[in-house]
Amino acid sequence: MPALPLDEAGKYVAGAYVVFLTLIVVYVAIIGAKIARIDREVTELNELLEGEE
Amino acid sequence: MIGTAATILRKDLRIELRTKESVPAMTLFTITVYVLFHFGLDRDSLDGALAAGVLWVTLLLASVIGVSRLYASEREQGGVDALLLAPVDRTALFLAKAGALLLFLVAVELVAVPAFAILLLGPGLGGALPELLAILVLGNVGVAAVGALVGALAAETHARELITPLLLLPLLVPLLISCAQATEPLMRQDQGPEDLGRWLGLLTLYDVVFVLLSVAVFDYLLED
Amino acid sequence: MYSKGFKPLAAASAVTLSASLILVFFYAPLDADQGFVQKIFYVHVPMAIVALCGFVAGGVMAIRHLRSGDPSWDLRSYVAIHMSIILGLGVLVTGSIWARASWGHWWVWDEPVLVSFLVVFLLYCVYYPLRFSIEDPERQARYSSVFAITAGAFVPLNFVAVRLAEAYTHPRVLSQTGGSLPGEMRLTFLVSLAAMALLFVTLWKLELTAKHAAMELKRLRRRLADRQPAAVA
């Protein structure tokens, strides 16, 4: 199999790595945002509950 | 346990003989699909890999119908709950269901395989019949075991008719590979088995794994 | 919120990942046949291996769940499988890119890893509809575990069958997927594999943290509702 010239091959390799890194970044972002939001709500609720006691 | 399994199996067979639901539907389905393939592929006769593929894919698709109906009697009459009130060995239930599916498949193939030979197969079946029977037997055992398991898995969901084929067919891929590869040389013009041992070996491994797995895991299904 | 070992684990993942990227692009030699395109191999194959291990691990955790009845094992199993499915998607996409770059087609049937993955991916996609169409939570967990075990046992069998079949229809030298790698490539590959594995475990723990936090939130909401039904936001 002839090797693709660097500039052509570069596109594909870059594409593959971009896919991989995007998956990670998007995943971490989604979960991170979820945790941050839940964290906030938990502290709010805890304060509310303490206020009652 | 065998006694219980036999009783449940007898009940299922009696129901099938009375209602004649699964086996005729599966048989009709296979023959219809053969006709579809004739038109879809625009071929009068098939041989080799194409023949093996059409035969096995059709049988597997027909088995989906069988699996969908396998637990129907339990569902419709609340039969599972009745079974569960008495301390029935789940393994017995699995053996009965797999046994029923196995017998249904055999019944379907008694018609479907000759039909295939008449309608679509180029070279005759005669010379390779014993080998083909071996493949069919091992293949049916695998489909029966996996089918009984998938039927139980899908039994409790609303989307039963959708989940059953989606779950069953990928699980059957190794079985399909083995059966098709083993059958292909039997359907060539110069027929004769090739590497039959290898594929029958893989089939046996598949059957053993899935029978053992299903027996082990079945206790956790259909519980309450 | 985060378990004790999490920050060092995350740090280790980041470090190993950076190391592997540096190795891939500045250390590993160019492949004689495929040239620069071969670099995709360092992300595609580790993803595949880790995903496969993830599926099997999900099955093992499911066994623990069934035997102990402890729902936290089911949660661990679910997250492992969920992540492996996402990784599996990545395997298929990067594999497709590799196929396109190497052979000019967006899909090839003679790569047993890729083909096995397609089947495995299709199977595991059914996990979600199966799981979420069962309403009773205890039953949902139990049936999901049965599926996870069945599918986990299926993965190696499927791999063997597909590989055997491909050996027939498409005989090829398997050297591309790591038959025998020269030293520098092997090191790069192993580091990439380690990076992927660490990343998987880190993200797995991260998602478990999120799920536990969500359950904690639900508990708090319920407590609040018990006291002041009007105050629930």
The beta-carbon neighbor of C130 closest among B153, B210, B214 is: B153
C207 neighbourhood in chain A, CB within 8 Å: 31
- Band (B223; pLDDT cuts 50, 70, 90): low
CA distance A8 to chain C (A): 9
A19 neighbourhood in chain C, CB within 8 Å: 90, 93-94, 97
- Cα separation, B153 vs B66, whole angstroms: 15
The beta-carbon neighbor of A9 closest among C37, C217, C227 is: C37
Q: What is the DSSP letter of B206?
A: H
- Cα separation, B175 vs B170, whole angstroms: 10
Query: Quick one: average pLDDT of B154-167?
Result: 86
CA distance B153 to chain C (A): 7
Give the torsion sign (CA, B150, B153, B159, B161): positive
Each domain of chain A, given as residue ranges in start order, spans 22-53
Q: pLDDT tens for residues B126-154? A: 777 888 899 999 999 999 999 999 999 98
The beta-carbon neighbor of B202 closest among C129, C151, C164 is: C164
Q: Are chains C and B touching, using the cut-off of 8 Å on CB pairs and a minimum of 3 such pairs?
A: yes
Q: pLDDT tens for residues B1-30? A: 778 788 888 888 888 888 888 899 999 999
C221 neighbourhood in chain A, CB within 8 Å: 45
- Cα separation, C216 vs C222, whole angstroms: 10
**Which residue in C44, C20, C148 sits closest to C96, CA to CA?**
C44
Q: Do C146 and B217 touch (CB under 8 A)?
A: yes
Minimum CA–CA partner of C43 in chain A: A17
Minimum CA–CA partner of C224 in chain A: A49
Q: Residue A49 above 90 pLDDT? A: no
- Cα separation, B29 vs B63, whole angstroms: 10
CB B8, CB B93: distance < 8 Å:
yes
- Cα separation, C2 vs C102, whole angstroms: 43
- Cα separation, B91 vs B95, whole angstroms: 6
B-contacting residues in C 119-148 (Cβ below 8 Å): 119-120, 122-123, 125-126, 129-130, 133-134, 139, 142-143, 145-147
The beta-carbon neighbor of C134 closest among B149, B157, B214 is: B157
Q: Do B173 and C158 touch (CB under 8 A)?
A: yes
Q: pLDDT tens for residues A17-42? A: 888 888 888 988 998 888 888 888 88
DSSP assignment of B94-147 equals HHHHHHHHHHHHHHHHHHHHHHHHHHTBSS-SGGGHHHHHHHHHHHHHHHHHHH
Residue with tokens 């499911």: C62
**Which residue in C161, C76, C147 sits closest to B166, CA to CA?**
C147
- Cα separation, C138 vs B98, whole angstroms: 26
Q: Do A4 and C36 touch (CB under 8 A)?
A: yes
pLDDT of B140: 96
B9 contact partners, CB below 8 Å, separation of at least 6: B95, B96, B99, B100
- Cα separation, B47 vs B127, whole angstroms: 14
pLDDT more than 70, % of chain B: 93
Cross-strand bridge partners of residue C35: C31
C76 contact partners, CB below 8 Å, separation of at least 6: C61, C204, C208
The beta-carbon neighbor of B209 closest among C126, C143, C153 is: C153
CB C123, CB C185: distance < 8 Å:
no
Q: Do A9 and C43 touch (CB under 8 A)?
A: no
**Inter-CA distances, C50 with B164, C31, C62, C88, Å:** 28, 24, 18, 9
Poorest-pLDDT segment among B79-83, B93-97, C61-65: B79-83
Terminal-to-terminal C-alpha distance of chain A: 74
Chains touching A by CB (3 or more pairs below 8 Å): C
Query: Quick one: average pLDDT of C132-152?
Result: 92
ipTM of the complex: 0.87
- Cα separation, C50 vs B69, whole angstroms: 38
Distance of CA B127 to the CA centre of its chain: 24
CA distance A41 to chain C (A): 7
- Cα separation, C131 vs C117, whole angstroms: 21
Averaged pLDDT score across all residues of chain B: 87
pLDDT of A1: 43
pLDDT of B18: 83
**Inter-CA distances, A9 with C38, C101, C110, C233, Å:** 9, 7, 21, 54
C145 neighbourhood in chain B, CB within 8 Å: 220
Encoding tokens for residue B2?
Answer: 């065998």
C87 neighbourhood in chain A, CB within 8 Å: 23
Q: pLDDT tens for residues C2-44? A: 777 788 888 888 899 888 888 888 877 777 777 777 788 888 8
- pTM comes to 0.87
Each domain of chain C, given as residue ranges in start order, spans 13-172+181-208
- Cα separation, C125 vs B167, whole angstroms: 9
C26 Cβ under 8 Å from any chain B Cβ: no
Poorest-pLDDT segment among B72-86, B177-191, B207-221, C112-126: B72-86
The beta-carbon neighbor of C126 closest among B166, B177, B213 is: B166
B167 neighbourhood in chain C, CB within 8 Å: 123, 126, 130, 147
Q: Are chains A and C touching, using the cut-off of 8 Å on CB pairs and a minimum of 3 such pairs?
A: yes
Residue with tokens 């030699």: C29
| Number of neighbouring beta carbons within 10 Å of residue B76 | 8
Q: Residue C60 above 70 pLDDT? A: yes
- Residue of A6, A7, A8, A12 to mutate for C, most C C-beta atoms under 10 A: A12
**Which residue in C203, C161, C176 sits closest to C51, CA to CA?**
C203
C-alpha torsion C29→C35→C36→C38, nearest 10: -80
Query: Quick one: average pLDDT of B161-171?
Result: 93
